Amino acid sequence: MKRFNSLTEVRHELTAGTLTCRQLVEYYLDNIEKKQHLNAFLEVWADEARQQAEAVDAKMAAGTAGKLAGMVIGLKDVLAYKDHALQSSSHILDGFKSLFTGTAVQRLLDEDAILIGRQNCDEFAMGASNETSYFGPARNEIDPNRVPGGSSGGSAVAVQADLCLASIGSDTGGSVRQPAAFCGVVGLKPTYSRVSRYGLIAYASSFDQIGPITRSVDDAALLLEVMAGPDEFDSTVSQESVPAYSELLEPKAHYRVGYIRDTMERPGLAPDIKQAMESTIELLRGQGHVVDAVDFPYLDYMVPTYYILTTAEASSNLGRYDGVKYGYRAPDATDLESLYKKSRSQGFGQEVQRRILLGTFVLSADYYDAYYTKAQRVRRLIKEQTDELLRQYDFLILPTAPTTAFRIGENMKDPLAMYLADIFTVQASLAGVPAISVPVGNDGEGLPIGLQVLSGAFREADMLAFAKHLTETVGASVVAP
């Protein structure tokens, strides 16, 4: 069976009668079996997927199938699906099964998506390489000695390696976009509050957003259309109506595009990525678009601000994992205090412990104003400056990451080097605006390069149309290994 790059291709064959959903599921299950070395899936729901496929085939025959009929999807291990294991790739949630299905996942099921399995990720979505997972790193299919990015690394690899048509990940500071760039696929972070967070394990609640990883912009638009919208279970979700994103992908003739001047001069920016950016800028200018260099004075403050705020929120959110209510419980505890200490010390990995400690420190009485309050003020400045630029320009473009996929183990002993992998993605997260990463070619070693597009809040329709234009004129919508 051939590799499908979009649901449109799948639906064409389903409609023609040359393919069934059951056959499609068997194809993906076979690929998952052949490519176990990539460690993309923590659990495969083979029998359930077959049953769902047969039910969708019956709906297709009756003409009652939903928008996502024929789309086989994997879920990052932070999304609740009732009666299925949910661990956030952590030892501390051993044995836990979700008691309910999250809103985004339920909306996929309601439109006849077929869910095939639970995907590897950095522990509690904390990481930029998928190396902090309790279950070991996922691996980049192009070079299995390299990382797939993180934290949604298993989700990106699964799409890259043709183990499913799409994945649903979560993006706190780039965790959908950066792995999409490393794997040569499309990764979308919606506007904060566009998609309900009900059923998403929290890392940093004022940053987290659920987003799709796909092989085409069309599929990303359709998945956002299905998942977005008001939800009675999430008081922070936007009440704005949801456009039909999948029907609004026709780009305008001319756009005003800005790129941040300093991003092109960063010492750690790989030459091939700089060249890809420069080529994209010249191509857009040649098409008649206005492309200007703009100044953004807060670039050096974004990563520190992001990590102060997210670790503070994480220290609060992860306080609930204490060995008492659910998950891992230290077997050698002797009293209540030792139960807390031992369960958390043994259950959390090193990176999660580091972030909890940092977050607890910045929230402490002696340092709250010096760090946390100041970081909140800087976040406001970053948001205001980003919003101002997006009033002047339709979009901002910048590299998704400063490098292509690095080798497994290369940055694990240097947390600061790992954190700097987020330098170009955290702006959209701090400002709460939507962003998408699309592939724009390969570097000299054949590793994918991602380009990121930011737009104003709730302007995903315009951003998706422009992103599709980029994939069609700058690079293919997927980099085949």
Q: Look up residue 13 and give its amino acid.
A: E
Tokens 């329709």 belong to: 461
Asked if 455 and 202 touch (Cβ cutoff 8 Å), the reply is: no
- Selected catalytic residue, list 6, 152, 167, 175: 175
Sheet holding 209-214: strands in order across? Answer: 41-44, 114-119, 72-76, 166-171, 209-214, 186-189, 435-442, 448-454, 395-399, 256-260, 290-294
C-alpha span between 44 and 32 (Å, rounded) = 9
C-alpha span between 441 and 475 (Å, rounded) = 6
Which of 25-34's residues contact partners 24+ apart within 8 Å by CB, and which partners? 25/49, 25/50, 25/52, 25/53, 25/72, 25/114, 25/116, 26/50, 27/1, 28/72, 28/116, 28/162, 28/163, 28/164, 28/165, 29/116, 31/161, 31/162, 31/163, 32/116, 32/117, 32/163
Is 76 labeled as catalytic in the residue annotation? yes
Both tokens of 3, joined, read 């590799």
Listed in sequence order, the DSSP H helices in 36-121 are 46-62, 103-110
Is 429 labeled as catalytic in the residue annotation? no
C-alpha span between 132 and 147 (Å, rounded) = 11
- Selected catalytic residue, list 6, 90, 133, 151: 151
Nearest to 172 by CA among 295, 317, 348: 317
C-alpha span between 182 and 129 (Å, rounded) = 10
What backbone phi and psi angles, to 5 degrees, belong to 171? -130, 115
118 pairs with which residues across the strands?
43, 75
C-alpha span between 350 and 365 (Å, rounded) = 25
Both tokens of 242, joined, read 């949801």
- Selected catalytic residue, list 35, 76, 189, 342: 76
Is 238 labeled as catalytic in the residue annotation? no
SS3 label, residue 72 = strand
Enumerate the active-site residues: 76, 151, 175
